[in-house]
Amino acid sequence: MGIDNFAAGAAAQLSRVPISWVKHEAKNAGNPCYAQLIALTGFEGYGRWWRLVELVSDNPLHTIPRHDEQGYKAYLLCLFFSDAEEFENYISILLDLDLAIVDECGRRVIPLVEAAALDVGMSRFNGSKGGKAAAANRKRKQG
């Protein structure tokens, strides 16, 4: 059990890098949270959701910044919100729908991105993504 906790902790640390992709499965069309998001914000809000996923994925901390944090204004501009109140209202909708959550440290995160980041972190821990361990594994597999 100690090894599993160590691996999980190491993977979490190694996941703090920009990630290049997040699953967008076809079955999302039947997800009631997405349907509710569209009902509340229209397809513009749904498009903003996926743009937010891209922005959070590219942020090594994988967080939605608060008004007093670095990068906040960039999120407003990239999502085409005219002011902070409009942006915060949108984030409140995402929190209400559990598409975003506030974690134990008070950070606003997207579980979909967190899961993808942990997959990357576990791959890095196991040596299949980047670094000397990955190169050694590839070399060993090649012969």
**DSSP reduced 3-state for 35:** helix
Please report the pLDDT score of residue 10 as a whole number. 47
| Residue 32, pLDDT above cutoff 90 | yes
| Residue 2, pLDDT above cutoff 80 | no
21-25-28 Cα angle (round to 5): 125
Please report the pLDDT score of residue 20 as a whole number. 67
Number of domains making up the chain: 1
Q: Is residue 14 in a domain?
A: no
Q: Taking a C-beta distance cutoff of 8 angstroms, is the pair 21, 116 a contact?
A: yes
Structure confidence at residue 30 as a pLDDT band (50, 70, 90): confident
Q: Is residue 85 in a domain?
A: yes
Please report the pLDDT score of residue 129 as a whole number. 54
pTM for the full model?
A: 0.74
Q: Taking a C-beta distance cutoff of 8 angstroms, is the pair 75, 88 a contact?
A: no
Q: Is residue 133 in a domain?
A: no
**What is the domain extent for residue 107?**
24-127
pLDDT: which is higher, 126 or 9: 126
Q: Encode pLDDT of 71-129 as tens digits.
A: 999 999 999 999 999 999 999 999 999 999 999 889 999 998 887 777 666 665 666 55
102's enclosing H/E stretch is: strand 101-102
Please report the pLDDT score of residue 112 as a whole number. 85
Q: Is residue 16 in a domain?
A: no
Q: Is residue 112 in a domain?
A: yes
Q: Is residue 9 in a domain?
A: no
Percent of the chain with pLDDT over 90: 45
Q: Is residue 1 in a domain?
A: no
Structure confidence at residue 29 as a pLDDT band (50, 70, 90): confident
Over residues 36-63, the mean pLDDT reads: 92
Q: Is residue 132 in a domain?
A: no
Instruction: Give residues with Cβ within 8 angstroms of 19, minimum separation 6.
Output: 57, 58, 62, 113, 116, 117, 120
